[in-house]
Homo-oligomer: A and B are copies of this chain.
Amino acid sequence: MGTDGVPARTGFSRRTILGGGAVALGAAGLGWGTATATNHGTDGPAGSQTEPFHGIHQAGIATAPQAYAAFVGLDLAEGADRERVTGIMKVWTEDAVRLTRGSPALTDTEPELARLPARLTVTVGFGPGVFDAVGRRDRAPEWLRPLPAYPTIDRLDPAWGQTDLLVQICSDDPVTVAHALRELVKNVRTLVHVRWVQRGFRRARGTENPGHTMRNLMGQVDGTENLRPDGDFDRLVWDDGAAHPWLAGGTSLVLRRIRMELDTWDELDRPGRELTMGRNLANGAPLTGTDEFDTPDLTARDQFGIPVIPPGSHVARSRFTHEGERFFRRAYNYDDAPTGPSTPGELSNSGLIFAAFQRDIDSQYLPVQQRLADHDALNEWTTPIGSAVYAIPPGVAEGDYAAGDYLGRTLLEN
């Protein structure tokens, strides 16, 4: 933080925008449309395409979602302090800079696997434990605490619970994800314990023409009402540093692991599914419309006076009641082995890794989550089994003037 009370990060970021070239601009909050246009046009195999690591914001949030993700939850080893956390962040920054541009990590033992980043991004988050470990509890955002218990829906398994650190690794190539995951974890292996790894996927790059909303494994279009990269995105996702100057340019992540009860879902007929969702399954249109992106008319009634979109449907319950209740979802499907101790006798172990980014969990996310917990027809077929929240620090500045910048510096230094 600057000594004049102006957050250092803000001034810093302005310099990045003013002084930087196209790369800095591309990552500087102009949204994913820009990032997409910049990077997808590259000739040659898709594996050589890159997403810029540096910028005001971390990559992997406004970045057009890659096909594969690994979310890694890690706990700090006994005795972690500010020096040690700083060391981890410097190592991760260095390795992320290298890996995202297709270069081997600093101590890469399989450098040939680093050659094709395929739009690799590495995004780091801080759980509450980090603030304690570094003696900065006063800098923890107020919203950085466990979500309220939702006893009617939650069946939380501590195996998927809160961790001190999060690394989100995304790429259009699964070999790249596997390699980056291993490099990032092994270089700090004595300082952290991996608690869980959640691997997810969307449609492979190129399977569909761009612009399709992804479908989840229940067959529903998932994300129609998501924030688009317009002015609202920046305002609703990125922290402005007002409450915590160190966080300017950062955001928050709510990560929920939501199991899909596919076996019982399959017993529900199509009309039942459409009433549950409030949407047409074939094209995702609300039951009051014809196109996926038509605005649902929650007041429309049929000839018998019955609401066309049931008030308890997922669309009706999840819809924001005012503009400030919106957040940005960047979800991935998971489909793990259907056998094993956690799923005796079940045919599938599938669901959604629900990742929601927003500036303020309390005002944007919680009202919607509470409404869904109170009632949502879809709840019968979805079960939250994991839950964690993270503060996502701002991005890392590039260039000589920013020598020594690293992930989390504004929290850890001064």
- Which A residues contact B (CB, under 8 angstroms)? 44-47, 67-68, 109-113, 116, 118, 172-176, 178-179, 181-182, 185-186, 189, 194-197, 199, 201-209, 215, 217-219, 262-263, 265-266, 281-282, 333, 335, 337-339, 341, 347-348, 350
**Please, how many angstroms separate the alpha-carbon atoms of A281 and B219 in the complex?**
43
Cβ 8 A contact of A118, one of B181, B207, B339? B207
A112 near B179: Cβ-Cβ < 8 Å:
no
A179 near B217: Cβ-Cβ < 8 Å:
yes
**Please, how many angstroms separate the alpha-carbon atoms of A167 and B45 in the complex?**
31
Known contacts A203-B173, A204-B174, A207-B47: A197-B337 contact under CB 8 Å: yes
**Please, how many angstroms separate the alpha-carbon atoms of A83 and B218 in the complex?**
33
Cβ 8 A contact of A201, one of B174, B218, B348, B350? B174
A-B residue pairs, 8 tightest by C-beta? A110-B219, A47-B207, A178-B335, A174-B201, A46-B206, A173-B204, A109-B266, A173-B207
Known contacts A110-B218, A196-B337, A348-B182: A116-B203 contact under CB 8 Å: yes
19 further A-B pairs in the complex, CB-CB below 8 A; given A197-B339, A204-B205: A47-B206, A47-B207, A67-B204, A109-B219, A110-B219, A111-B219, A113-B217, A113-B219, A118-B207, A173-B204, A173-B207, A175-B217, A178-B333, A179-B217, A182-B350, A186-B263, A194-B339, A199-B337, A206-B206
B178 near A217: Cβ-Cβ < 8 Å:
yes
Known contacts A189-B347, A207-B173, A262-B182: A112-B196 contact under CB 8 Å: no
**Please, how many angstroms separate the alpha-carbon atoms of A215 and B204 in the complex?**
20
B207 near A45: Cβ-Cβ < 8 Å:
yes
A-B contact pairs, 29 of them (CB 8 A): A45-B206, A45-B207, A47-B204, A47-B206, A47-B207, A67-B174, A68-B204, A109-B266, A110-B217, A112-B219, A112-B281, A118-B204, A172-B204, A174-B201, A174-B203, A174-B204, A175-B207, A175-B215, A176-B207, A178-B335, A178-B350, A181-B335, A182-B350, A185-B338, A185-B347, A189-B347, A194-B339, A194-B347, A205-B206
**Please, how many angstroms separate the alpha-carbon atoms of A262 and B110 in the complex?**
10
User: Which B-chain residue is minimally distant from A348 (CB atoms)?
Assistant: B182
Specify which chain B residues have a CB less than 8 angstroms from the CB of A178 in the assembled complex: 217, 333, 335, 350
**Please, how many angstroms separate the alpha-carbon atoms of A298 and B362 in the complex?**
68
